[in-house]
Each structure stands twice: as C-alpha cells, then as structure tokens.
Amino acid sequence: MQHRMENVLGLLLPSADIAPLHLHQAMRYAILGGGKRVRALLAHAAGELCGADPDKVDAAAAAVELIHAYSLVHDDLPCMDDDDLRRGKPSCHRQFDEATALLAGDALQSLAFQVLAQPALCDSAARQLEMVHLLAIASGSRGMAGGQAIDLASTGLALCQEELEFMHVHKTGALIRASALLGAYCAPDADQAKVRALDRYAKCIGLAFQVVDDILDTQADTATLGKTAGKDAERSKPTYVTILGLSRARSFTQELHADALESIAPFGSAGQRLVELAAFITQRKF
Amino acid sequence: MQHRMENVLGLLLPSADIAPLHLHQAMRYAILGGGKRVRALLAHAAGELCGADPDKVDAAAAAVELIHAYSLVHDDLPCMDDDDLRRGKPSCHRQFDEATALLAGDALQSLAFQVLAQPALCDSAARQLEMVHLLAIASGSRGMAGGQAIDLASTGLALCQEELEFMHVHKTGALIRASALLGAYCAPDADQAKVRALDRYAKCIGLAFQVVDDILDTQADTATLGKTAGKDAERSKPTYVTILGLSRARSFTQELHADALESIAPFGSAGQRLVELAAFITQRKF
C-alpha cells in the first residue's frame, strides 16, 4: 500500500521539471520517498470496510497525506520546532531554504483540496463537497492548525492528562479521524453504524499513535526514528511519558488498542485491515 | 461593499474568545479592519453581471479574501519579504509572533476552502465542487504560490517585460481571475460569453493592479500606502517602473484599462460595477 500511495502521489504532484522548478522539487521532496502513510492506510482500510472502490479512495488518501506533509514542512521551520531532520533526510527548509519550504507547504495544502475536489471522485457531488468541508475543518483552526497552536502555547507548562489529550485530539487526531471518514465516504452508500464505529476507532488509534510517539521519543535513537529523538524532553514539552510515566503510558496504549478493536469487532473480517493497522500503530518501533 | 464584507468575514471567522484564542485573534487581526477588498468587489461585480444572488456571492467573495489574507501574512514573514507594516498596522508576525502568524496563515487557507465548500452555497453541488477546484488551482503551485516562488527567484535579476508578466499572472493574476469566475459561477446559469468576457476583464485589471502597485511603490509614502514604500527598489526587485520607465508604465495601465472595458462593453449597464471597479483600480492612490 505504501508503494501504491507513492505512485498515486507521484502522479498527482506537478512534475519536478514544470515551472516553478524549485517549488515543485520542494513539494515532491517533502512528500515522496518516505513516511508510514498511516493516514492513507487508514482511509483505504475504512474504505474497504464500507465497500468503496480502492481507485476512488486513492484521491482521498492522497489529500490527507498532502495535508499531513504540509504540516510537517511548516512544523519543522525555525519559528516552529526548528528541526533539521525528517524521515531520515534533511527537513525541507534545510534541503532548500525557508521561503521555499513555506511556499511548498502552502502549495501542498492547496493541492490537497484540488485533489479532493477533482471531478467525479465520488458518485455524488454533494457528498464529495461534504468531504472537502470535512477536510477543511479537520485541517483548520479548530483542527490540526489549532492543535499546533495549543502545542506551541503549552511548551514549558505542566499540563494535566486531559489538557494534553485536548491538544492531541486537535493536532493529530482531527486529521486521523478525517482520514477514516473520507475513506468511508468514498463508498456509494456508507452505512451509518460503520461510520460511527470508524470514528471511534480512529479517535482511539489516533491517540494511541501519539502515546507511542511519546514513548519512542524517549526510547529510540535518531537513526531509527528518522527525526531528532529526545526532542520533547529537551524542550520541556509535556508528553504522556512525563505525565503518566513510562509504564502507565504503555498500559494506556493497550487500553486504546483494545477500545479500537472493540469498536470494529461487529464487522468481522471486513475490518481485517483495520485490525492490522491498529496492531502496526501500537507496536511500531519507529 | 467593504462594510458588507467586513460583516461577512467577521461572522465566518471563529470568534476571538474561542480556543485557541491566540490563533483566532491572529486570524481576525490579519483579515479584519482594512484592505481594499478588490477581490471581493470583483466577485460581487461579476456575480451581478451574471445575475447571481449577492447573498450567495458573499461566501465566494469571502473565500478569495481569506486566501489573499493568508498570502499576505506569509509574504510578510521574515523568510519572505520581512515586512513590519501591513494595512497601516504592524504585520501579523510583528503583532503576534512568527509561529502564530505562520499557523494563522495556514488556518486562513483551510477556512477559505471550508467556506467555499459549505452546504448549498450554490444550486448545483457539481458546480460548487468545480468552484473549489478552481480556487485550489488558483492558489497553488501553478497559481499564486507558484507566482510567489517565481518572485523570490527573480529578486536581483534583470527580467524582461514578458518574464515579469509571467510572474504577476501567477502571483496576483490567478486569484483575481478566480474571484471573477467564482462570482459568475454563483449565478444559477452563468452565460459562457459573459464568463469569457469576465476572464479577459480580470486578466487586464489584475495586471493593471500590479502596474499601478509598482508605480505607487516609487511615488507614494509609507503612511499613504499602509505598507513600506520604496521596498521594491531597495531589494532590487524588477518592477514595471524599472523595466518600462514611469511614463510607459502609466500608458500601459491605460491600455489595460481600455482592454478591460472593451471586454465587458457588450453587456451595457449590467457591467456598471465592473466599469467602476476598473476605474478604482487604475486611478487609486494607495
């Protein structure tokens, strides 16, 4: 599936020999050749549960990956996390320059909406419009961008678990939930019970993803992570490990994993890929 | 109309007392309380020509103003134009901070697509989806963001008039054309001859707007402009004044003005607001 998404994204992005060259090279650099593609995998697994044509899910999956990639490019900028490394390579502004990285992020966001609004992605134009609306809300000030603002404001503060969860529900959770819902809405007639189950599943694995991220940040080394390890502690950022301790953070991951599986259990083997994805997310080492 | 847009935008933007407060304050700061609203005026004038309901045009006009506002916030950042002043006030990153300005710009872009994809803006969901697609292309790497990349790359270079025009056609022209087309598409059945005429009109006034900008940058003072005057020369940026000289730049503005008027002449009084807008753009002093 990672390979499939690489092809899909490679075709959707403007070629690196189309003007403005530098910008297109930076956009391709930022999104191709790496990444776990969790959001794309989730869109496809959700689409499969609901009976969507995988060819139609491709565009929705690409749209969420484009939003995710733009957020990483901007998040790595000096005025934000100031990170030199991303997916084992120099971050976009280190490979190019700050202004190019800023514009590449901006253009990746536009491209996400262009891809999701392309003609006849979905059998119903009205539903496709709802998908665009949903992605915009998930990306904006009450979703991902808002979560990043809360994250910035919380550096150096002693948050409680509830406040930390509020931040992550926005910063990463909103786009992860949108990935599942967009995959489901690619089906001609997505069953409401399945959509509700997917929403709960995505909330749980989205949060589990973050808890595992916090654990890995304290445990793994930079080479394994492909991004700078130990960064959170260095910047006095509150994490699940600082708030719960390592052992309780691990058991919290297990609880979230179990909740995610419970929500999709009624659908049996149709949810097999969602089961595999939950296992991947909670057991990953990078 | 400026007053109407201020109200529309004020209602569409998240309130400054909704979390994350700082981000919402920065978004409101960046877009409310100023600006010529040329893009909104154009959307409304184009909508009127095609018989659109002004209440429906409001959302399309807001969407283009949101994209424009986000581009100004990012354009003023230190890694881009590094400008301290915008619309007579401290630029967003000076009033808040760089990270907040970056996120506010990002979230304003998301909000533009959210507003344009909101349910039942248009009688036809399929046409509304085309509008989203059009705005995304106009904003992205082959439109506005691409034009900014070309602008960055051209600083210090001796461009010819053709290259300068290529840059402006992307940097400002794409969004100005989109404003006219989006206004037109709000009409239940926009006449193709009118759409073609509007496209030509918008190309001409978009370019005229830029030529006048270049003239004003050399002539007016910072207090009148509300942004730093003389900036282009200081940075060795190619402009219409440096390439054509002041006198030919002025006559070029007149030619573009005449072309714009000619394209809408067949529609008589239905194009009255477009005539007024063209006069405002070519004769403005700020």
Whether B256 shows a pLDDT value over 70: the answer reads yes
Beta bridge partner(s), residue A89: A86
Q: How many helices (H) and strands (E) does chain B have?
A: 16, 2
DSSP B98-157: HHHHHHHHHHHHHHHHHHHTSTTSSS-HHHHHHHHHHHHHHHSTTTHHHHHHHHHHHTTS
What was the pLDDT predicted at A10?
96
What was the pLDDT predicted at B58?
96
The neighbour count for residue A156, using CB atoms within 10 Å, is 9
Domains of chain B by start residue, with CATH? 2-283 (1.10.600.10)
Substitution target in B113, B128, B159 with the highest count of A β-carbons within 10 Å is B113
Mean pLDDT of B76-105: 95
Whether A70 and A113 have beta carbons less than 8 Å apart is answered as: no
For residue B150, the distance in angstroms to the closest alpha carbon of chain A comes to 6
What was the pLDDT predicted at B159?
84
Interface touch B110/A23, C-beta < 8 Å? no
Whether B19 and A142 have beta carbons less than 8 Å apart is answered as: no
Q: Least CB-CB distance to A136: which of B19, B113, B146? A: B113
What was the pLDDT predicted at A225?
65
Residues on chain B touching A82 (C-beta within 8 angstroms) = none
Q: How many helices (H) and strands (E) does chain A have?
A: 16, 2
Tell me, yes or no, if A110 comes closer than 8 A to chain B by beta carbon.
Answer: yes
Mean pLDDT of B167-175: 94
Interface touch A111/B136, C-beta < 8 Å? yes
Per-chain mean pLDDT for chain B: 92
Whether B23 shows a pLDDT value over 80: the answer reads yes
pTM equals: 0.95
Tell me, yes or no, if A20 comes closer than 8 A to chain B by beta carbon.
Answer: yes
* Cα B173 to Cα B166: distance, rounded to the nearest angstrom: 9
Max CA pair span of chain B? 52
Q: DSSP class of residue B15?
A: P
Residues on chain B touching A139 (C-beta within 8 angstroms) = 106-107, 110
Mean pLDDT of B151-165: 86
Whether B123 shows a pLDDT value over 90: the answer reads no
**C-alpha distances out from residue B149 to A27, A96, A262, Å:** 12, 12, 49
Q: What is the mean pLDDT of each run of 10 residues along chain A (286 residues)?
A: 92 94 96 90 97 95 98 96 91 96 98 94 90 98 96 85 90 96 93 96 96 88 70 77 93 97 95 96 86
* Cα A132 to Cα B132: distance, rounded to the nearest angstrom: 9
The ipTM value here is: 0.95
Tell me, yes or no, if A14 comes closer than 8 A to chain B by beta carbon.
Answer: yes
Tell me, yes or no, if A133 comes closer than 8 A to chain B by beta carbon.
Answer: yes
pLDDT-derived band at B190 (thresholds 50, 70, 90) equals confident
Mean pLDDT of B160-173: 91
What was the pLDDT predicted at B88?
86
Whether A122 and A128 have beta carbons less than 8 Å apart is answered as: yes
Q: Least CB-CB distance to A103: which of B110, B114, B148? A: B148
For residue B132, the distance in angstroms to the closest alpha carbon of chain A comes to 6
Residue A65: partners with Cβ closer than 8 Å, 6 or more residues away: A5, A9, A31, A35, A37, A39, A40
Q: Least CB-CB distance to A140: which of B71, B102, B110? A: B110
Mean pLDDT of B8-23: 94
